[in-house]
Structure formats: structure tokens, C-alpha cells
Amino acid sequence: MALWSGRFEESANAFTQRFGASLPVDKRLYRQDIQGSKAHAAMLADAGIITPEDAAAIEEGLDGIQADIERGVFAFDINNEDIHMSIESELTARIGDAGARLHTGRSRNDQVATDTRLYMKERAAQLMDANVRLRKALIAQAEANMDVIMPGCTHLQHAQPVLFAHHLLAYTWMLARDHGRLAQARVAADANPLGAAALAGTTYPLDRFATTEALGFARPIPNSLDAVSDRDFLLDLIYACSVSCLHLSRLCEELILWSSAEFGFITLSDAYSTGSSIMPQKKNPDFAELIRGKTGRVVGNLMALMMTLKALPLAYNKDMQEDKEGALDAADTLEDCLICAAGMLETMTVHPDAMMAQAKKGHLAATDVADYLAKKGMPFRAAHEVVGRLVLTCEKRGCNLADLALEDFQAESPLFEEDIVSALDLRAIVDARTTYGGTATSAVQQQLQEAKSLLPT
């Protein structure tokens, strides 16, 4: 019999019972539900609403239920449609009237919001930890490959030479911002709705500040309507997960390209690759592809919750039962992706010679040749035109700028002298970019220290 059955003459049929149940999803919140119930019972006793004996029996009964759940011997009954009713029903069966007094001054509306906030605070912190591991993996590879030069690209076309370390560190800054978004989502969840009851508060003298302190929340939510209807904190979390997955998809796309025969920049560990059922030679970057693919489901979870909340009137509506599954899935998916990406980075093999060989293609010195002329007084736009003609010459001859003779350069401009050779050296080109945030070794070393300083100690 449902805990709200007094007003009803008929029970829900098997289909509607199953259709309306959230237990398969929200049973993951059992620890938070028990934690919230303990805090609520202790506060009720302190306020003189229930006796200390009832509060002690409730705590002991809840401890027993939690132990049974964690041992895998607790029988979840779909007729108790959610984790809250499952635990309360069992508690009342075990300790009698004391269990039936637990819900005094409380609604499932504020109860579920409390459980969800507690859970998402914890998940956000776990995601932040996984984020840090991946950043450490990127930093470690950057440190190990500080002298490796690769072609930097725009439009997937060779553009200018950069340090491989510089390229990897770009992702640490994306992930640092992701970490900040996860931290903000955690702050958004860190508010206590318990005591708002169904929507209007309660006539019982509840101490919401006491439960706030007991549950480790930063503050109670000041409006009871907002307390039970706010799901912005879930939007914040799924948004943070979505952006992080977008960043991971970019990283994984590059790992996929770099591990191909056309690039050959890296080799992924066998532990993060798979083979083919028909082609014996294949070594596929399946796990990088999976991370790239899972981005869609996380972004889809964000869209789903946004549409669930669109035009939803105050206060609580059953639509909100759809809030947790997507949020849980987004958090689970991101954590798995972060762990997998860290493993790939930690175990991959870098091939510096292949990167340098590609860096020598595509006229990556062209901008520096133009700068050479500009520094000798030629307007940059005119210098750009001169170098463009030199590149066209190379294209027609099937060679690179470094293959041209001094006479070829001087045929386009008398400003070229023998020192033009230094403008064609890739390492000199890289190390000339000493501006803050640039790709010179000195600038990347500074960037590396800054990236490390943002890691939690």
C-alpha cells in the first residue's frame, strides 16, 4: 500500500506503477536519503517534535537498512515507487510508529531535492578529481617532450611550427576551465532545501539552519517554492559535463588523426586499442572514438533537462522525476571519458621524428620569411605578397622554401641576404616566439609552471 494511499480507493495497476516509478534510477541515492533522514530526525528531536527515543530508533533503523543495502540483501520493491518510500516503508516495518514519525514536517518534494543536491555535490567533486588526473597526464607528456616540434595547423592545413608540449598544454587550459565549471556546479548544488516541505514550508518549528549544518550545506534555500522546484544546479552540472566532453572530443579527434598511418605522430597503447574481426593488421583507436561519440549523449542529456523544465509552473511537478537519469548519466559518462583519456595519454608513445618530418612540409617558415622582410622596412602586406610568390615557385618546383637558393629569394626582393637561412630553421622559428603564451621553449616552460600551479595540492 502506498504511503499516500489514504485518499485513494484503488491502487495503481502494474503498468502505471512501473511507469511512474523512479526507483530503478534513484536507488543510487540511498546514502544521501538516509543521511538526510538522520539529520531531519535529529532536528525534530532537538525541536521537541519527536522524542529522543524515537530519534534514536530511527537512526538505528536507518543504519541497519543502509548496511543491508550495501551488503546487497535489501529487497527493493517497485511498489515503493522511489528510494524515499522504499526506505521509509522498511523503516516503519522494522521499528513501528517511530518510523512513521520520521516524515513529520517533510515532503518528498524537499526530500528528493535534498538527496539530489547531496549526491551531485559528491559527484562534482569526483569529476573534478578525474579532471585533475587528465591534466596531470597532459603535463607529464608535455614535460617529457619539451624538445619535440610538430606542425601547428589551421583549417587542418600546415601553418606554423609549434612545440608538441605547447599543443598538449592547450588542452590543460580547456580542462582547467572545465574544472572551474564543475566547481561552480558544486557550489550551485550546495544549498539546503530540507524544511521547505511540499512547497509552502510547514507549521512545525523546524530548524533549517540545524539541518543545513548537519548535512554540510553552505546555506539553506530562502524560498520554499524555489527550494522544491529549482533544478538549475543540475543544468549547471550537465552543462559543465557537456563542455568538458566537447573538449575531450577535440583531444580524441587529434589522437585519432595522430595515430593514423598518414600522421604516425603517436602510437596508442594496446590497452587502449582494438583490432578488426576481418583485417589482421588493424589497430583501431576505438576508445578515443568512443569518447568522441559519447559527447552526443551528454549534450543530449542537457537538452532533455532543459526541455523538461521549459515552461514548468511552480512548484513541484512529476515532470521533475525526469531530472536525475540524465544528470547521473552525464556525470557517469564524463568520469569514464576522463579516466579513459588519462589512460591513453599516460601510455601512448610519441614519435618526434615523424612530427619533425611533417613540420618540414607545407612551408611553415613562410610567416617568418615575411617577418624577415618586414623587419628590414618592407610593409608587411608587401612582404606577404613576396613570400606568397616564393611559395608558388616552390609549389611549381615541388620543393620547400628551405630548398630555394639565395638567388631565388633575391629575385623577389633585394632585401634578402645570406642570413635568410636562419629564418628557415624550424627550431629558431619556434624559439623566437617568446611572447607570453607563445610556443618558444622559454614561454612553454613558464606556461608549464602555471599549469602545474593550478593543480590541487
Q: Helix/strand/coil (H, E, C) string of the chain? A: CCCCHHHCCCCCCHHHHHHHCCHHHHHHHHHHHHHHHHHHHHHHHHCCCCCHHHHHHHHHHHHHHHHHHHHCCCCCCCCCCCHHHHHHHHHHHHHCHHHHCCCCCCCHHHHHHHHHHHHHHHHHHHHHHHHHHHHHHHHHHHHHCCCCEEEEEECCEEEEEEEHHHHHHHHHHHHHHHHHHHHHHHHHHCCECCCCCCCCCCCCCCCHHHHHHHCCCCCECCCHHHHHHCCHHHHHHHHHHHHHHHHHHHHHHHHHHHCCCCCCCEECCHHHCECCCCCCCCCECHHHHHHHHHHHHHHHHHHHHHHHHCCCCCCCCHHHHHHHHHHHHHHHHHHHHHHHHHHHHHHCEECHHHHHHHHCCCCCCHHHHHHHHHHCCCCHHHHHHHHHHHHHHHHHHCCCHHHCCHHHHHHHCCCCCHHHHHHHCHHHHHHCCCCCCCCCHHHHHHHHHHHHHCCCC
Q: Is 155 among the residues known to form the active site? A: yes
Question: Which parts of the chain register pLDDT below 50?
Answer: none
Q: Domains plus CATH for the chain?
A: 12-104 (1.10.275.10), 116-140+165-194+226-356 (1.20.200.10), 358-453 (1.10.40.30)
Give phi and psi for 266, each to the nearest 5: -140, 160
Cell match 552543462: residue?
Answer: 239
Write down the catalytic residue from 5, 276, 422, 442.
276
Please choose, from the candidates 426, 408, 439, the residue with its C-alpha nearest in 3D space to the C-alpha of residue 361. 426
Burial of 455 (0-12, 13-18, 19+ CB in 10 A): middle
Give residue 9's pLDDT.
Answer: 64
Active-site annotation holds for 166? no
Residues 314, 318, 324, 325, CA torsion sign: negative
Q: What is the pLDDT of residue 289?
A: 98
d(CA 350, CA 265): 6
pLDDT value at residue 7: 65
Residue 359, pLDDT score:
96
Longest dimension (CA), the chain: 100
Q: Rounded to the nearest 5°, which phi and psi values hold at 220?
A: -85, 150
**Tens-place pLDDT, residues 205-227:** 999 999 999 999 999 999 999 99
Kindly report the number of other CB atoms within 10 A of residue 392's CB atom: 10
